[in-house]
Chains A and B, each alone.
Chain A
Amino acid sequence: MADVGRKKRLADYGIHSERTLMRKKGPGVFEQELGDLESKLGLSTVEKAVAWAQGHSIWPDTFGLACCAMEMIAIVGSRYDVARFGAEVFRSSPRQADLMIVSGRVSHKMAAPLRQIYDQMLEPKWVIAMGACASSGGMFANYAVLQGVDKVVPVDVHVPGCPPRPAPGVVRRRRSGAERRLRLADRRLARARGLRPHGHRIRRAPRSEADPHGRRLGGASAAQGLPHRR
């Protein structure tokens, strides 16, 4: 298989099997078959499955720092139940967590442990900067507070608020990075098939003498002879 245009395998998404004992062994039979399956089925299906699985079982790391942590715990509570999104287990160990929700103001002293915890997380990992302080330093533009946690870790989602209501912080978060890439791929695929992202057919004006390229002079309806549609 040529390397150019090599399709991404599961391994490229950070999904490896735990071959801690036999490191040099190489992919096993199952992984080989899975790889062949990837090539045969066409990429988007397996990518979709992976992204679906990742997005629906994100396990957050308990990185509550300050007031936003209280709202983060409220997410776990029964009213804004985050377990329905698969994120019910807040792991204390970063090695078992997928998602770091930085909830609260990060002082400069805490920035080093923050980076250390981020490094201890395994791929794939995501970071939510929850609240104003994590996103930008919030109301604390002073000597002690890191002005935005994206100065030390790459952040996927910034959630505004002081503290943000639990509901938007959770619902917005559902699409993981892989899922967002997938939605883009969906859109490109749809375009190639002549559809808009939501499934409507793209209607182009027919080419005519006055309009040899089919560009809409005066709008699609005008080219078709219809009155201007509001």
Chain B
Amino acid sequence: MTLAARRQAPIYTGTRIPSPIPTVLKVDPALRVDDDILEVNFGPNHPSTHGVLRLIVELNGERVEGIEAVIGYLHTGFEKNMEQKTWWKAITYPERIDYLSFQINELAFVLAIEKLLGVEPPPRATWMRTLLCELSRIHSHLIWLGTGALELGAISLLWYCFRERDAVLDLFELVTGVRMHTRYFQAGGLAEDIPPGFFTECRKFADMFPARVDEYEALLDRQAIWLERTKGIGLLSAEDAIALGQSGPVLRASGVDWDLRKVEPYLAYDQVDFDVPVYFNGDVYDRYKVRMDEMRESTRIVQQCLDGMPEGPWIVDDRKIVLPPRHELHTSMESLIHHFKLVTEGYRVPAGEVYVAVESARGELGCYVVSDGGSKPWRVKFRAPSFVALEATATTVAGSLVADLIAILGSLDTVMGDCDR
């Protein structure tokens, strides 16, 4: 459902994707002869590249004529590492891939395991996962806004956003015991029941948060410098966005109404009521607006999850994949054996392959899992939205100024852990 008025004219005609390689912008050879091209290294250690991204930028004065991204500075070997761990232990890894919306990463992997196992988590677990994923989305957008605004000069937003981010992390700590990288989702449900007191605190947060989003918008929406630096910058038309494989806020800011939560609902998204913000100008400002509206919609979903949270078990009852409750270990031999097998060898997942896609804060996060029937994954591959978003860099940055380059990179919201894995 669209929230913005559709543009009358297309963003631009034709395509701006540079050829032959869509990710590399090459300097026009005529320019090299006449003008002075300066090659600048936006090295891996840079405050504004959102992680360890290296850009080799060729400048003609202030104008970006050529750009090439060098990635791999954060390549961690997640996928290979996960092949060495049992399914249970491997769940710890995906969270660190996209370290801003960490629980959504975990969700993708856990949903894949559950699909291969053929188990359906109980409704309490599903609704709680929905709630936590939306809190993760809020967390990710808060950091995006704080750091993105910081780079464009709106420095005070860093402190405001991180104040709210600490509130979100407090909620995570209340539920799971850890601020970040919570490892709360388990194959079959949640690791532990929801502690008492969480719902009150979460409701307080959900009541307080929309007003804070309004505050941020009051600071930025009509601010002249912000508008100068974001309106009309980094244009990406809908056709180009689809050709480049974009998803998430980048795609929705270019006018394409595509959100996996609506199109292919998972978890409890088909049972809650929310809108998907779509804007039509395809510039940095619209990507900012999409994310701000997404924060509000996420708060709506959180409130509905709080209202509709069902009672019941938090994890499925299958002892072959879930640890039995500890008091049973004293009385039941089968429970003891199950516990032993689960802790030493881990559960076995039937052979097969599955692809699960969820809507992360950055776009479509996909997890492709191949199992050979054993207790460890045979192959795990993540379709990382940030990697794909980086491919739009060359297109959006063509012909812009250096300062706009920073704004555009911020609006693409890439996380290098996600990009390099």
Which residues of A does B touch, CB under 8 Å? 62-67, 69-71, 73-74, 76-79, 90, 92, 94, 104-105, 107, 109-110, 113, 117, 139-145, 162-163, 165
CB-based contact B181/A163 at 8 Å: yes
**Chain A: interface secondary structure?**
loop
Task: Please judge, given known A-B contacts A110-B44, A117-B45, A165-B179, whether A77 and B76 are in contact too, CB under 8 Å.
Answer: no
CB-based contact A73/B44 at 8 Å: no
CB-based contact B76/A144 at 8 Å: yes
Least distance between B105 CB and chain A CB atoms (Å): 11
CB-based contact A78/B180 at 8 Å: no
Cα distance A65–B420 in the bound complex, in angstroms: 12
Cα distance A92–B47 in the bound complex, in angstroms: 6
Q: Within the complex, which residue of A66, A92, A105, A163 is in contact with B46, where a contact is CB–CB below 8 Å?
A: A92
Of all chain A residues, which has the CB nearest B96?
Answer: A67
Of all chain B residues, which has the CB nearest A91?
Answer: B47
Determine the chain B residues whose CB is within 8 A of the CB of A90 once the complex forms: 47
The 10 A-B pairs at the shortest CB distance, nearest first, are namely: A77-B162, A67-B99, A144-B77, A142-B77, A110-B73, A92-B47, A79-B166, A142-B81, A62-B47, A107-B75
Least distance between B75 CB and chain A CB atoms (Å): 5
CB-defined A-B contacts under 8 Å, sample of 15: A65-B51, A66-B74, A66-B99, A66-B416, A67-B417, A74-B169, A104-B74, A105-B74, A107-B73, A109-B75, A110-B44, A113-B45, A139-B93, A140-B76, A140-B78
Q: How many A-B residue pairs have CB under 8 A?
A: 100
Least distance between A62 CB and chain B CB atoms (Å): 5
CB-based contact A74/B76 at 8 Å: no
Verify if B163 is at the interface (C-beta below 8 Å from A): yes
Of all chain A residues, which has the CB nearest B147?
Answer: A73
Contact with A along B49-76 (1 / 0, CB 8 A): 0011000000000000000000011111
CB-based contact A145/B77 at 8 Å: yes
Cα distance A66–B102 in the bound complex, in angstroms: 12
CB-based contact A74/B181 at 8 Å: no
Q: Which of B76, B77, B80 has the most CB of A within 10 A?
A: B76
Cα distance A125–B354 in the bound complex, in angstroms: 50
Of all chain B residues, which has the CB nearest A140?
Answer: B76
**B171-186 contacts to A (CB < 8 Å):** 179-181
Least distance between B414 CB and chain A CB atoms (Å): 13
CB-based contact A78/B73 at 8 Å: no
Least distance between B413 CB and chain A CB atoms (Å): 14
Determine the chain B residues whose CB is within 8 A of the CB of A165 once the complex forms: 179
Determine the chain A residues whose CB is within 8 A of the CB of B143 once the complex forms: 70, 73
CB-based contact B45/A77 at 8 Å: no
Least distance between A91 CB and chain B CB atoms (Å): 9
Q: Within the complex, which residue of A63, A117, A145 is in contact with B76, where a contact is CB–CB below 8 Å?
A: A145
Cα distance A175–B1 in the bound complex, in angstroms: 56
Contact with A along B12-52 (1 / 0, CB 8 A): 00000000000000000000000000000001111100011
CB-based contact B45/A62 at 8 Å: yes
Cα distance A142–B83 in the bound complex, in angstroms: 11
Q: Which of A63, A141, A144, A163 has the most CB of B within 10 A?
A: A144
Cα distance A195–B409 in the bound complex, in angstroms: 60
CB-based contact B181/A162 at 8 Å: yes
Task: Please judge, given known A-B contacts A67-B99, A142-B80, whether A77 and B166 are in contact too, CB under 8 Å.
Answer: yes
Cα distance A105–B417 in the bound complex, in angstroms: 10
CB-based contact A74/B51 at 8 Å: no
Cα distance A144–B73 in the bound complex, in angstroms: 10
Cα distance A28–B370 in the bound complex, in angstroms: 71
Q: A76-B162, A77-B158, A162-B181 are in contact. List 16 more A-B contacts (CB 8 A).
A: A62-B45, A64-B51, A66-B417, A67-B180, A74-B165, A92-B47, A107-B72, A107-B74, A110-B73, A113-B44, A140-B77, A140-B81, A142-B76, A144-B77, A145-B76, A163-B180
